Chain A
């Protein structure tokens, strides 16, 4: 279980997180929604330790994430970055098997490649993609490779940062389906941030809405449409009028 308690983070004068409280149960899929610049990515990066919060606590199964063996902690996570974040200088299979080629999970190169090809197949890519470089792939294929990399070491927890941004609706649907299938199949805990309401409905067990640096609403996805929360209602229906000020 991941727990954030009163987490604050500011960048200079800009107070991005102003006391975030959130609980993500093990094996569940939590989707965080909210407008651009509301701190969704910052919250995710705080959990991973990529950004240090100014105050508050973040625990994973009761353990403070800032203490203990960092490698062992990170080995429990997989992450799909918004732009894929594939390493340009490495072929696709080495991107996917990156974790399996070095560090505590190191395996022989041939075995790592076999696993990479299998994970690529799992996300719907053919083996001939393995030897290509990321720059030779389309945006949708790069997302799939990123997804294959995120699941390559079979992590317990997977983070998805805007998994469908920049993709056409069909490719978005494919990625959403893959994420749902993989999370269910692996029994992993998933945390996704997105603006895409179709993704929310396809991926989420639970939804949390982040606005003004705090969680405005959280609950099961089935209750999202009847929450009665004016912020959530405005966001999910995409209305210009409401408590969330739209910059025009």
Chain B
């Protein structure tokens, strides 16, 4: 009997700890957003975050999109050949990239690169008392560290997704023309004919949501980092894993909202 009670108690403790974590994260997110309307706003930190998150993520997002577009063209061609539907390659590559693969893969690559670096940086600042120092210097760490990063990621990731869409479609185009014997003009015309504005816009909205998630997870886990190198390492790992899972979950929810009949 006592064994069963202990088992149930451990489940209860886990559930309570999980709910407490969700509550803390929700409060953190709410506080971050609330600072948007309350001065001061640290423009220099925002600009720095834009460069770090947006500009410096461009190579990795671009390479991911390029190779994904190429591989997608090959797969769709091979699959479409079973139904004599090889001509759908340009349109499916474009729709697949803009609606799904561009934002999701872009978001995941940014999560790997940015959530980890934000969590490690803020976590190190926490364990070396730099966060306490900020407070004693009359500077709110949420305003100085969190808000600029979250806002920069929310604005920069959709731009990265847009650029990634173009590069990904070019990857499909290069493979289509060089390997699959499509005419260049035909490929581009089919792409443009089938692609709708909403395909692109929905992907950009997803990118914005994913950017928000990535930066918020990095900041939250950094601010709540444990002591020492192990604490910072754990915060970094958790930030990347949590951001990645949340991106995939949010992608499903957004797809339901945007595209379910």
Contact = CB atoms under 8 A, between A and B. Distances in A.
Interface in A45-59: 45, 48-50
Interface in B122-157: 124-125, 128-130, 132-133, 135-139
Contacts of B132: 45, 50, 81, 85
Contact of B138 (A87, A103, A149): A103
A74 interface: yes
Nearest to A72: B138
Contacts of A104: 138
A87 B145 CA distance: 12
Nearest to A161: B129
Interface residues of B, number: 14
A75 B133 contact: no
Contacts of B138: 71, 74-75, 99, 103-105
Interface in A210-244: none
Nearest to B124: A88
Nearest to A105: B138
Q: How large is the interface on A (under 10, 10 to 19, 20 to 34, 35 or more residues)?
A: 20 to 34
A86 B130 CA distance: 7
Contacts of A71: 138
B42 interface: yes
Nearest to B42: A102
B117 to A, nearest CB: 12
Contacts of B124: 88
16 contacts: A49-B135, A50-B132, A50-B136, A74-B135, A74-B138, A79-B136, A85-B129, A85-B132, A86-B133, A87-B133, A98-B137, A98-B139, A102-B42, A103-B138, A104-B138, A149-B137
- Which 10 A-B residue pairs are closest in the complex by CB-CB distance? A85-B133, A85-B129, A74-B138, A79-B136, A81-B129, A71-B138, A99-B137, A85-B130, A103-B138, A98-B137
Given A74-B137, A85-B130, 5 more contacts: A87-B125, A98-B137, A98-B139, A99-B138, A102-B40
